[in-house]
Structures are given as C-alpha cells and as structure tokens.
Amino acid sequence: SAVISQKPSRDICQRGTSLTIQCQVDSQVTMMFWYRQQPGQSLTLIATANQGSEATYESGFVIDKFPISRPNLTFSTLTVSNMSPEDSSIYLCSVEAGARGTEAFFGQGTRLTVV
C-alpha cells in the first residue's frame, strides 16, 4: 500500500493567480498521477509524472496551464496557473501499487475554489 499526503487540503484563490499543490508519498514510486474531479463528476486524468522525465499530459491539458514537477521518487507538485473560476475543482494525487494490475492510492485531494 501507499500513504499519500497532499496539501493544501483546500484553498480559495483569486482569478489570475497560481496555486501549487504538493503530493508526498511514503514510499518510492515510479509513476504519479494527477486527476481533476469536478463537482458531481468522475475523475479526469490530467497527467502522468515519472521521475526524471517530463510529464505526459492527457488530451485537453497542457503544460503551460498545469506544470508538474517530479524531483524524486516520493514527491510531485502540480501548479494550476492563471486560474479562472472554471478551474474550481478537486485535484487529486495518485500512485499505483500492487503486484498485478494497477491499484491506485489517493491523497485526500485539494479542494480549489477560484473567485
């Protein structure tokens, strides 16, 4: 299993500013995932972050808007840049563990409100 600490847990931000979300894992992992969960909706993968390489972004998400850092095997950050109210969402950090298949573990999420 994996224990994930994510912070901040929530924030209220002014439009046009940026917020950096931190994700710390209690063990070394190869891949870390960043998701967005908009109100009443399912999870949408933003990007996959591997240590030592650039993050891989999903369709509809770009590095300029959501820059990601992955400096080591236990830590990653996601920045939401130049925020607008449409960015209001829950942002989730996730890692995979388990010998067979993909078993995901999640942080508690960051609830972001942009005003």
**Out of 41, 72, 82, 113, which residue is the one contacting another protein (CB under 8 A)?**
41
Question: What secondary structure does DSSP assign to 59-70, as a single string?
Answer: TT--TTTS-EEE
Burial of 80 (0-12, 13-18, 19+ CB in 10 A): buried
For residue 23, what are its two tokens?
């994700």
Verify cis geometry, omega within 30 degrees of 0, for the bond prior to 8.
Answer: yes
Q: Give yes or no for residue 114 binding another protein (CB under 8 A).
A: no
Footprint of another protein on residues 78-107 (CB under 8 A)? Answer: 92, 96, 100-107
- For the CB of residue 46, give the shortest distance to another protein in the complex, in Å: 12
**Out of 20, 22, 24, 48, which residue is the one contacting another protein (CB under 8 A)?**
48
- For the CB of residue 67, give the shortest distance to another protein in the complex, in Å: 20
Q: What are phi and psi of 57, to 5 degrees?
A: -100, 145
Q: How many residues bind another protein (CB under 8 A)?
A: 20
Unique residue bearing structure tokens 């067979």: 100
Per CB under 8 A, which region of 16-24, 37-45, 60-68, 77-85 contacts another protein?
37-45
For residue 6, what are its two tokens?
């994510």
Binding site for another protein (CB under 8 A): 6, 31, 33, 41-43, 45, 48, 92, 96, 100-109
